[in-house]
Structure formats: structure tokens, C-alpha cells
């Protein structure tokens, strides 16, 4: 069935009419997938899902589509007019599905509140990790499990670039290859800056902890500043480098952040390569569960969107729960990798360890490479407050023998073997 088709003649039960906003990469794939799956969905559900109307910039009338549909699927992207369309649909009592992470991470509370007020469902599986069904697992399978922490690789572009870098490419070479292969956009800034992952982590934190976390509450760092050198040292230390999003309960509050991090080989996210996504959910009750799979692409994303539509058709989803007031914690503990370019003079190591000691940064391992003016100190610390590490690094940068800005990368120490 094409995007303009309706229910086949002779169908006795009224079709389930989908108002489709957007017919781009995901919208068009959704239309194709729906036509392939409609028979099967009708067979177990009793109603045939059909496209009731389509809106693009050049086609369709929103009011008419809204009036004629049982559910509205928003695949436009951006905040406006997507926000207005979703609010209007929910206010008129329609269930909605969206794949829009930017919108949910910036206006989630307004959307959730409207869904609650009008008793409708707001589904957004595709907004977090593409085809990886983490939203449903958190909302349903783990709804009785007190989640302590989520680590996620939720941006396939950066994971692809880091995978290429770990095989020896420079950042620039890896980015160019990602663009050639269709894994990175012409303007990759939202991905490589960590902002896309931050939006997804805000949504995951809201789901896992009930706290109204917005994109602006998430601190994020990207991968643009990473060096090939760091990847090489990481390999020697048995570490892999990933862009990790973390959402965790901490000191009575919640911390949500995105940052490049080294992982030991035994961490479930260490083996996630290329454009894949994965999310690890940790709780005392379950130890750890990892979900992984394709994180983007029209057909994969469309499959998550169609899953949401079917879940609404079968009455499986509830309106969102009200938010819980939890403070945001910004200064957290982490182990660090520290890379210093130093002149190899007597007293250098003593000077470095004195500054680290004064800031309560304790060293777990240290490697010295090179001689003379080209020496490098590469250290891994034990966990320390990020504010202490930042202060130590600022002080180290003042030494005459430190020849370029010290580089730090967080290290995730847990392994599940
Ligand atoms: N692409 C992926 O792999 C992926 C993965 C996960 C989530 N998502 C999310 O899925 C959503 C859609 O992404 P996409 O890649 O399919 O986008 P896209 O290819 O740019 O398509 C956007 C569609 O929305 C329509 N549109 C844009 N502005 C509009 C407006 N003001 N009024 C009416 N229609 C408008 C466009 O119309 P025209 O055809 O007239 O231009 C186009 O059909 C986004 O929220 C994105 O973040 C995408």
C-alpha cells in the first residue's frame, strides 16, 4: 500500500488510520514497511493499519489529516512545527508516535503532561537508539526494577568514527570515511559534539528515573579533540575508546552526561563496533542487561516506529507517569587517563605526582615514552572528583616542562566477565 492508499474494499472492521507527518528517510521507509506488514498486523490485531493522510512541506493539510486519523506519527524532525502538531493531536484525544529526540529532550515535560492530561499515549522508541527497544524494556520489562545506572552508545556515527580510529585512522580520515559510507551527515556537528547523544540520554534518564531531565541539563563532550596517539596508548593498556552516555542515581539525585571514555575489554559496550548502538542497564536486581542493534537508518528506525503504532493498537502502552523532583548532580567521580607531553628533565615525574597528590588524584598506572624533549607521560588514575582532576590539570599546564595542553579522557572501570 502506498502513502496515498486507503483500506482495501470489503474490509469489515474499520481500518486503523495513521496520519503520517513527514515522508523523508524514515517516513518513506515507514510507508514501505507498513505496506509489507499490514496483512500480518491485521491478522493478529483484527484491524488493518493504513496511511490515512500524509503531510510534507508541499503536500497535505494538517487539520484534515488529524481529523481523519486514529493515531498521528510525527517524522518531520526539529522542534517546530513538530511540537505544535503533536500537542494539537494529543489535545484532540489522539495517540501519537514520534522519532524526534531533539523535540522530546527539549519539550518532553510539556508533551508528557499533555499526554497525561488527555489520557493519550505518546510513544517514542525510535527517538533513543533506533531499532534497539530500550524504551519499551525500561517502561515495561524493567518497570519494577530500580535502575541504578545506564551506560549507552547511542550515536552510531561517533561509534563508527571511533572504530575506524582504533584501526589506525586519524579523526579526519575516519570522519571522511563515515561521510562516504553514509554514516555521517555533511554537517556532522550534532553527532561529533555529543549533542545528539546528550538528547537521547536526557530521554533515557527521564524514563529510568522519572526525573524531568532536559537536553540543557546534560553535560556533553564530543570526539573532535581525540588523537590517534590516545587510541594507540589505549590499545597498549587494553582499553577501547567509546562515546558513552551515562545516566545514574547519585547522592540522592541524578547525573546525566556524555563523554568519550576508555573501557576495559570485559565491559559489555567494549565490543560494540561500527555504527551500532547499545545500552547497558544496571541494577542490583538484574546485575546488568545489555541491548544492542542498529541505531539509525530509515528501515531500522521505521521498524521501531511501526512497533510503537502496533503497541498503541493493541493497547499495550500507558500515558507517561508524572515527573519526580530529583536534583541534578554535576560533579561526579571518574577514573581518568592523563596524557602529558613533557621535556624529560630531572624532577618532572616528582613535580607531576606532587600536584596530583595535592589534588587527591591517585595514580593507578603510569607509562613513560620517548626521551629528551619528546617524552610522554601516560597515566591512569583511580576514581576522583572531576572538579579535582580539572584543577590538577590546570595546575599541570602551568609547568614549563609540560609542552602542550594535558589531555584527559575518562575511564570506565567496571567489567562484567
Ligand atoms: N534518519 C534516521 O536514520 C533517523 C534515526 C532515528 C531517528 N530519526 C528521526 O526521525 C525524524 C525524521 O528524520 P528523517 O531522517 O526521515 O528526516 P528527513 O529525511 O529530513 O524527512 C523529513 C520529512 O519531514 C517533512 N517536513 C519537514 N519540515 C516540515 C514541515 N514544516 N511541515 C511538514 N513537513 C515537513 C519533509 O518534507 P519534504 O519532503 O517536503 O521536504 C520530509 O518529508 C527526525 O526526528 C529524526 O531525528 C531519524
Query: Structure pTM?
Result: 0.93
Q: How far is the CA of 100 from the centre of ligand 1 (A)?
A: 9
Label residue 8 by pLDDT band (50, 70, 90). low
Backbone angles phi, psi at 73, to 5 degrees: -110, 120
Nearest to 294 by CA among 278, 283, 311, 310: 278
CA angle 359/360/363 to nearest 5° reads: 110
Backbone angles phi, psi at 363, to 5 degrees: -90, 130
Q: Please give the residue that has the higher pLDDT: either 170 or 235.
A: 170
Q: How far is the CA of 74 from the centre of ligand 1 (A)?
A: 9
Average pLDDT, the chain: 93
pLDDT surpassing 60 at residue 6: no
pLDDT tens-digit map of 10-47: 557 899 999 999 999 999 999 999 999 999 999 999 99
Label residue 417 by pLDDT band (50, 70, 90). low
pLDDT surpassing 80 at residue 325: yes
Q: Please give the residue that has the higher pLDDT: either 49 or 141.
A: 49
- Any residues with CB less than 8 A from the CB of 167 and at least 6 apart, and which? none
- Any residues with CB less than 8 A from the CB of 297 and at least 6 apart, and which? 130
pLDDT surpassing 50 at residue 4: no
List, chain by chain if needed, residues with CB within 6 Å of any ligand 1 atom: 22-27, 55-58, 75-77, 81, 99-101, 126, 130, 296-298, 301
Alpha-carbon span 295 to 274, nearest angstrom: 10
Q: How are beta strands 287-294 and 276-283 bridged, if at all?
A: antiparallel
pLDDT surpassing 50 at residue 407: yes
- Any residues with CB less than 8 A from the CB of 97 and at least 6 apart, and which? 71, 72, 73, 74, 122, 123, 124, 305, 308, 309, 312
Report the pLDDT averaged over residues 217-228.
94
- Which residue's C-alpha comes closest to atom 30 of ligand 1? 57
Report the pLDDT averaged over residues 219-239.
87
Q: How far is the CA of 152 from the centre of ligand 1 (A)?
A: 24
Report the pLDDT averaged over residues 257-272.
94
Q: Which of 66, 76, 126, 299 should be mutated for ligand 1, with most atoms under 8 A from CB?
A: 76
Alpha-carbon span 138 to 44, nearest angstrom: 25
Report the pLDDT averaged over residues 312-318.
83
pLDDT surpassing 50 at residue 77: yes
pLDDT surpassing 70 at residue 128: yes
DSSP letters for 82-117: HHHHHHHHHHTT-EEEE--HHHHHHHHHHHHHHHHH
Which one is catalytic: 94, 101, 200, 242?
200
Q: How far is the CA of 10 from the centre of ligand 1 (A)?
A: 34
Label residue 9 by pLDDT band (50, 70, 90). low
Label residue 250 by pLDDT band (50, 70, 90). very high
- Which residue's C-alpha comes closest to atom 29 of ligand 1? 57
Nearest to 175 by CA among 100, 238, 225, 234: 225
Backbone angles phi, psi at 156, to 5 degrees: -70, -30
Q: Which ligand 1 atom minimizes the distance to the CA of 81?
A: 31
Active site residue 242: no
- Which residue's C-alpha comes closest to atom 21 of ligand 1? 24
| Residue 328 DSSP one-character state | B
Alpha-carbon span 328 to 97, nearest angstrom: 28
pLDDT surpassing 90 at residue 257: yes
Q: How far is the CA of 206 from the centre of ligand 1 (A)?
A: 24
Backbone angles phi, psi at 380, to 5 degrees: -120, 130
Amino acid at each position: 500500500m502506498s502513502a496515498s492508499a486507503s483500506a482495501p474494499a470489503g474490509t469489515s472492521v474499520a481500518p486503523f488510520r495513521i496520519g503520517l507527518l513527514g515522508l523523508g528517510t524514515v517516513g518513506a521507509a515507514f510507508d514501505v514497511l507498513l505496506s509489507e506488514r499490514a496483512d500480518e498486523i491485521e491478522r493478529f490485531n483484527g484491524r488493518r493499519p493504513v496511511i490515512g493522510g500524509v503531510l510534507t512541506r508541499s503536500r497535505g493539510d494538517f487539520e484534515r489529516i488529524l481529523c481523519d486519523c486514529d493515531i498521528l506519527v510525527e517524522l518531520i524532525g526539529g522542534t517546530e512545527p513538530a511540537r505544535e502538531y503533536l500537542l494539537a493531536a494529543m489535545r484532540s484525544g489522539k495517540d501519537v508516535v514520534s522519532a524526534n529526540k531533539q523535540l522530546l529532550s527539549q519539550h518532553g515535560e510539556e508533551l508528557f503532561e499533555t499526554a497525561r492530561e488527555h489520557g493519550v499515549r505518546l510513544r517514542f522508541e525510535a527517538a533513543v537508539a533506533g531499532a534497539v527497544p530500550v524504551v519499551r524494556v525500561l517502561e515495561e520489562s524493567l518497570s519494577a526494577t530500580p535502575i541504578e545506572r545506564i551506560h549507552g552508545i547511542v550515536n552510531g556515527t561517533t561509534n563508527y568514527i571511533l572504530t575506524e580510529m582504533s584501526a589506525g585512522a586519524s579523526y579526519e580520515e575516519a570522519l571522511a570515511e563515515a561521510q562516504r559510507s553514509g554514516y555521517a551527515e555533511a554537517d556532522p556537528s550534532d553527532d561529533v559534539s555529543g549533542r545528539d547523544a546528550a538528547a537521547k540520554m536526557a530521554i533515557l534518564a527521564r524514563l529510568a528515573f522519572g526525573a524531568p531531565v532536559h537536553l540543557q541539563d546534560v553535560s556533553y563532550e564530543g570526539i573532535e579533540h581525540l588523537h590517534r596517539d590516545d587510541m594507540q596508548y589505549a590499545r597498549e593498556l587494553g582499553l577501547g575508546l567509546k562515546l558513552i552516555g551515562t545516566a545514574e542515581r547519585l547522592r540522592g539525585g541524578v547525573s546525566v552526561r556524555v563523554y568519550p571514555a576508555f573501557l576495559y575489554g570485559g565491559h559489555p559496550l567494549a565490543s560494540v563496533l561500527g555504527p551500532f548502538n547499545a545500552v547497558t542497564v544496571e541494577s542490583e536486581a538484574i546485575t546488568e542487561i545489555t541491548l544492542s542493534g542498529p541505531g539509525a537508518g530509515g528501515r531500522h528506525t521505521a521498524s521501531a516506529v511501526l512497533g510503537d503504532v502496533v503497541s498503541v493498537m493493541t493497547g499495550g502502552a500507558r500515558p507517561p507517569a508524572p515527573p519526580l523532583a530529583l536534583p541534578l548532580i554535576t560533579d561526579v567521580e571518574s577514573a581518568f587517563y592523563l596524557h602529558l607531553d613533557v621535556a624529560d628533565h630531572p624532577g618532572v615525574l616528582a613535580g607531576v605526582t606532587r600536584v596530583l597528590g595535592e589534588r587527591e588524584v591517585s595514580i593507578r598506572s603510569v607509562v613513560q615514552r620517548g626521551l629528551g624533549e619528546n617524552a610522554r607521560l601516560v597515566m591512569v588514575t583511580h576514581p576522583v572528583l572531576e572538579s579535582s582532576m580539572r584543577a590538577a590539570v590546570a595546575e599541570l599546564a602551568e609547568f614549563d616542562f609540560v609542552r602542550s595542553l594535558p589531555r584527559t579522557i575518562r575511564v570506565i572501570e567496571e567489567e562484567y566477565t
